[in-house]
Amino acid sequence: MPLPCYNKTMKKFILYFCLFLILLSLFAAGALVFVHHATDPSRRLPGNYQAQIDYTRNIVDKGNQYLQDAFLGDQFSMEDYLDPVCIDLHLTFSKEGTYLLEVDASSYARAEETAYAALKQALYELIRLRQEAAGKSARSDEEIQSVLEELLGMPADEYLQTYGPALLPSYEELEAAYAGSGTYEATRDLLILEGGKTRHILTDASTLVLTDPAGEEDPMVWYVDPQP
């Protein structure tokens, strides 16, 4: 027959061991919930984001084609006169389940101004090259501007924006392609926008990447915008 003190010791051991197992299981469950929340991209979705559409290549190609057509096939590039041209997009996901995507009108205006200023500068340089090829002394920007304004009846930059190539889509075209608003649902790594459009979500502390599940569109990289 076991000793009484042995029975008491074993009972305490079993009790403490059971309590340990219970606490361990609770800790494990809590850790799983924490990991799920911490790694669930949809929980980090609400906030303000900014992305950019780079139109530099598009502007260069259209500008070069215009210059070549205007000067009967001269091979000339306006790329050296153009800084990168991007148009900003702003995206907001609210905690209440709504979203708003806007095309930044001021960045569009800056992009348009930059594009046509580069085209005008390239045009001036091409005129100078043609003058030098003809054995004439090259004129300054001011002289070329004055001659063109007299010839065209308006400043060169105004003429290019009015009658020249469409270096950028119109603002209305960009809004139709990108802007939108409505409700959204986010579950784990999937974003569902009002109307049925879906995107896979990949996010961290500074970026949000939205990819098309069908692979028909390029991934869109958004950056956290702390000051919308």
Spans of all domains in the chain: 4-39, 42-224
Q: What is the mean pLDDT of residues 98-127?
A: 94
Inter-residue contact 120 to 160 (CB < 8 Å): yes
Global pTM reads 0.76
3-class DSSP state of 154: coil
pLDDT digits (tens, 9 = 90+) for 27-79: 443 333 333 344 455 677 899 999 999 999 999 999 999 988 877 556 778 88
Residue 226 is classified by DSSP as S
Distance set, CA 113 to CA 83, 171, 219 (Å): 12, 13, 28
CA distances from 80 to 35, 72, 77, 118, 221 (A): 51, 21, 7, 9, 28
CA–CA separation, 133 vs 138, rounded Å?
10
Task: Give 179's DSSP letter.
Answer: -
pLDDT of residue 157: 86
